[in-house]
Structure formats: structure tokens, C-alpha cells
Structure 1
Amino acid sequence: MRVLVIGLGSIARKHIAALRNIDPEAEILALRSSIGAPSCDGVRDIYDISAIKGTKIDFAIISTPTSEHLRSLMAARELDCPLFIEKPVHHTLECESVVRELMSSGVLTYVACNLRFLDSIRFIKNAVETRGVAVNEVNVYCGSYLPEWRKDADFRKVYSSVPEMGGGVNIDLIHEIDYLYWIFGIPESVVKVLRNGSSLGIRAVDYANYTMDYGNFCASVVLNYYRRDYKRTLEIVWEDETWLCDLARNMVVRTSDGQVLFRSDDSILDTYEAQLRYFADLVRNNKKESFNTVGDALSVLKICLDDESER
């Protein structure tokens, strides 16, 4: 298997590690922006995509900063190969025409929202589809402390803090909106509050609050960058009882009595290999569509960025 990586940052290195577990003999190439950029062992650097035109590339991984995704998509589509794209598809709707072109071209695309591979989220999705009990309310919360994300860097200067680079919890933590879209589909309407008035003092959105109306119930989503005690939960208020899914612990409990309904020993880190294995299997089997195409990712991005009239 020959794979091109566009963007060789920390997330790309996670994907490369996963790829080597899946296929130790994989040939990995990296499209670099400059000759002086740090290399990665066992990865062959190239500096112009034209250098590999005519070479069979099994798929490309796009893992550049979010603000560079559109440029990377435009470069990668010249190779006419399957595309594994780190989330989100972009940070603005400038990408819409390119997304439409990719969808009409028939190229296999997958936007990497790895929480779809977390066992506890999959347990919840299966329950929603099969349990036969009405959902009355959904509450999602994700709060963590941005200054501790990258302890060797000034948190005010990393992309998460810079709107022009695709920073802000509404984009950076798009996973929560994505898995709601995966489980429940597109909401009928969305009301949102986006702000950056916390003590972090950054320009990017550091607090987001969404109310997503699904007709028979509403889902509330709260995201922030400033919570020191990490919390990542999904609460389902059924007609008959309430379940709490703790993503950090990969478990689901019934809140009335604390009974554990589901538990997995895997962690969120394990989902990176699971999703890449899924995509590699699609490529090997010559599949033409994934369960999170660029079209799906565009729909999720519109929930995060647009008012309801533009969806």
C-alpha cells in the first residue's frame, strides 16, 4: 500500500503509527511545505505533488491545519485517489464548491471523526435505533483546559486560539456535533451562542452552546476550552430512564441506580487505528462511499457555522 500524507504534524503522526500497525509494509510519502521541515522516520518527503503524478497512490491523508484543508483538497484531487481527511473538512464554507465536485466525481472520501468508533458512542447509537423507547432530551458536554493541551507551546499562539487558522471550540470540538448528526441526523433548527469572554483571553470562540431541535426532542450541546477538570459526556433522557455516557471512561450508566449498562477497556486513542483500518478496508474493497463523506462533513460544518436559513 502506498499512502501520501499531506501535513506532517502531531495528528498525522498518529495516523502514520496506526497505518504501520495495519500494514507494516506500507510505503508512506509526505508532501512537505518546506525543505527544512522536521522529517519522520520511514517517510519519504516530497515537495511538489507533480513529483508523484502518474504514480499509483492508494489513498491520501489530509492532515494539514484546518485553514489549509481547502488548498490540500484541491491539490489531492489531482491524484484521483481516495481521501482520508482530518476533521473538520474546512473552517469556512469556502470549501463547498470543492466538496460538491468531489461528491460528483465518485472519489471515496472519509472525514476523520474518530468518536464514531468509540464503543460507548456506538452502544448509544444502537440503542437509539433498536430500543423502541422515545428520547425526550439529549445533553452533550465537552469541557477541557486548552493551556494543558500542548504544554510545550504558548496556548495563545496555537491554531486552537486563532480564528484564521480554524481555531475555536465550535470547529475544534466538532466531534460532538458530528456524533449527534450520525446518531440523529440533521436537526430541524439550531439556536447557538458563540463567545470568547473567558479568562483565557483568546480571540477564538472558547464557549459554544447549541440547542438543536429534532422535532420530538431537543439536544443541548455545551463546549468550552477553560474547564480544568476534563469532562466529556452524552446524556440520553429516555421516556423511561436516563443514561449517562462518559466518553473519557468509555462507559454508559443508568443514572437512577448507577448500574453500568456498558463498559469498554478501549480509550479514545484506540479509535484512531479503528477508523484508519475501516478506511483501508474500504480502499482495498474498492468501495465508493464511506459513512462520513465530505458531503456529510459539510452538513455538520453548516450546523456549526450557519444560521438555520442557510442549511
Structure 2
Amino acid sequence: MRVLIIGLGSIARKHIDALKIIDKSLIIYALRSNQNAEIINGVINVYSFDDVYKLNLDFVILSNPTGLHFQSLNRLKELKLPLFIEKPLFDKTGKAEDLLVKNIITSNTPTYVACNLRFLDSIVKMKEIIQTERINEVNVYCGSYLPDWRPSVDFKTVYSANKDMGGGVHLDLIHELDYIYWIFGEPEQTKATFRNKSSLNITAYDYANYLWVYDAFAVNVVLNYFRKDAKRSLEVICESGTYYVDLLQNKISFNQKIFFESSQRIADTYPKQMDFFIHQVLQNKDNFNSIDQANKILKLCLAD
């Protein structure tokens, strides 16, 4: 395969590692904005979008900062190449974003927006379980400490901490909203609260709270950047009892007794996700989390 990457940061390198597992003859190109950009073993740098037309690519991975996605996609749509887009789709929504999404869909360009928790064994299992359960309440929590995400870098300089770069816990952790949408569907009503008043002292939101209301139950989602003892959980309270999913340990308890666990870790979902993209989205034209669905979830995320 011949793949172009736009945005060669830490998440892009996870996608590269996943690709190398799938295809040993992989050729990777990176579109760089700086002639003095770092040379990375196994990656061929290109410096002009005009050169991209000559590369005979199979698809493009878009993994630059979220605030640059609109500009990048507006240019990439000309290529009509399959797009693997790192979440979230954009940092805002509006008529221009909707029109771009419509144009990409109309061109029949295969798209996938990367939300890898859909490939975590415990989340997949819970999607199966709830089909036969009467649900009364759902609680979702994801809290971690932003300075620990990239220990070697001043956390206040990264896009996550900066609103004007498309950062914010609601966008970084859109994974939680994505898997709730995937499992339970679109809510009937929504409310959201955003804050950035914690001791982190950053411009982006470091706390988000969502209430999604469905016909027979409600989902409460809490996200934050300031919890030092990381926790990532899904609790589904049913008529039959309570399911508790520990996403970090990839296990499910029912009424406080473990009944499902997997050795898979979140890092292991990246190769699984990439394999799905190549074999189902590219080859079988599966619309799994296409740009259209991701745009709907983004609007729920931003409470637009």
C-alpha cells in the first residue's frame, strides 16, 4: 500500500505501527509544511500538495491538529482518495463544514473517522448485551491528568490545552460520546456544561458534562483533564442488575462480579481498527463511522 499522512505526531505513529503489522511492503509519505522537518525512518517527506497527485496513493491519513482539519479536507476532496480521519472531524460545526461533508459524500469518497474504542472488546460485548436488557440509567466517566499525557512536553503548549488550536476535553474524549452513540443511537434531547476553571489553568475546556435523554433512560457523561488517578468507565443500570465496564482493564462486572475480561488493551485497538478500515471500508465500502455520522456526533459533542 501507498499511504499519505498529514500530521506526523504521536497518534500518526500509532497508525503507522498498525499499518506495518498489516502490510510489510507499506510505503508511507508525509506531507510536511517545513523543509527542515524531522526525517523519520521509513517515511518519505513531501513538501508540496501538488506533488501528492504523482504518488499513486491508496488512501490518506489525516492526523494534524483538529483546527486544521477543515482546511486539509477542503484540499483533499480534490483527490477523491479514501480518507482515514483522526477524531474529531472538526473543532466547530456550521454551514461551511456541512457543505464540505456533503461534497465529500457526493463524490462517493470512502471515509472513516477514527474512534478506536469501538474496537475495544468490552465495549463490543456491552453493545451485544444491551440488546436484550431493559435499561434504566447509564453513567459514563473518563478522567485523566493532561500533564501525564505527554510527560516530556509542557502540557500548556499542546493543542489539547489550547482552545484556539481546537483543543478541549470534550473533543479529545469524544470517544465516550461516540461509543454511546454507537451503542444506544441518537438521543432525543441533550444538555451540556463546559468549564475550564480547574487548577490546570488552560484556555481549552478541561471539564465537560453531558446529559443525553432517550425514550426509556438517560445517559450522564463526565469528562475531565485533571484527575491524577485515571478512571474510564461505563455503568449500565438495568432491570436485571448493574453492568460496570472498566475500559482501562477491559473487563465487565455484573452486580460486582466479573463475568467478562479480555487481555486486549486500548493500545491494541489501533491495529484492529486499521485492519477494519482496509478490509471493510476500503474493500467492502462499509459506512462504519463515516464522515456523515461523525459530523452528527460532533454536533452533539459541541452542543450545537
TM-score range, shorter chain: over 0.9
Cα distance in structure 1, aligned partners of 2:234 and 2:280: 29
| Superposition deviation, residue 290 in structure 1 | 2.7
Please, which runs of 5 or more residues in structure 1 have no aligned partner? none
Partner of 2:173: 173
Deviation per CA, 1:43-87, whole angstroms, max 9, x where unpaired?
Answer: 111111211315421111000111111111122222211100000
Retained in 1: the 8 A contact 2:137–2:217?
yes
Deviation per CA, 1:228-282, whole angstroms, max 9, x where unpaired?
Answer: 100000000011100100000000001x3x3212100010000011101111113
Cα distance in structure 2, aligned partners of 1:290 and 1:57: 21
Partner of 2:259: 261
Retained in 2: the 8 A contact 1:87–1:112?
yes
Retained in 1: the 8 A contact 2:142–2:233?
yes
Partner of 2:199: 199
Partner of 1:39: 39
Cα distance in structure 2, aligned partners of 1:107 and 1:128: 33
Cα distance in structure 2, aligned partners of 1:104 and 1:216: 36
Partner of 2:249: 249
Partner of 1:64: 64
- In the alignment, does 2:156 pair up with 1:148? no
- In the alignment, does 2:49 pair up with 1:49? yes
RMSD of the alignment, in Å? 1.2
Q: Percent identical across equivalent pairs? A: 49
The alignment partner of 1:215 has SS state of coil
- In the alignment, does 2:303 pair up with 1:301? no
Aligned residues: 302
| Superposition deviation, residue 13 in structure 1 | 0.8
Partner of 2:125: 123
Retained in 1: the 8 A contact 2:212–2:218?
yes
The alignment partner of 1:78 has SS state of coil
Partner of 2:288: 291
Cα distance in structure 2, aligned partners of 1:288 and 1:73: 20
Partner of 1:26: 26
Partner of 1:78: 78
The alignment partner of 1:192 has SS state of strand
Partner of 1:228: 228
Partner of 2:276: 278
With over 3 angstroms needed to count, the CA separation of the structure-2 counterparts of 1:228 and 1:89, relative to structure 1, is same
Retained in 2: the 8 A contact 1:106–1:288?
no
Cα distance in structure 1, aligned partners of 2:238 and 2:80: 45
Retained in 1: the 8 A contact 2:110–2:282?
no
Cα distance in structure 1, aligned partners of 2:213 and 2:282: 39
Deviation per CA, 1:121-171, whole angstroms, max 9, x where unpaired?
Answer: 000001122xx2211100000000111111111111211110111111111
The alignment partner of 1:260 has SS state of strand
Q: Which deviates the most, 88-97 or 142-151?
A: 88-97
Deviation per CA, 1:88-126, whole angstroms, max 9, x where unpaired?
Answer: 001111522111111121110000000000000000001
Retained in 2: the 8 A contact 1:109–1:289?
no
TM-score, normalized by length of structure 1? 0.94
Retained in 2: the 8 A contact 1:58–1:283?
no
The alignment partner of 2:156 has SS state of coil
Please, which runs of 5 or more residues in structure 2 have no aligned partner? none
Retained in 2: the 8 A contact 1:61–1:85?
yes
With over 3 angstroms needed to count, the CA separation of the structure-2 counterparts of 1:197 and 1:29, relative to structure 1, is same
Partner of 1:158: 158
Cα distance in structure 2, aligned partners of 1:209 and 1:276: 30
TM-score, normalized by length of structure 2? 0.96
Partner of 1:111: 113
Cα distance in structure 2, aligned partners of 1:153 and 1:161: 12
With over 3 angstroms needed to count, the CA separation of the structure-2 counterparts of 1:272 and 1:26, relative to structure 1, is same
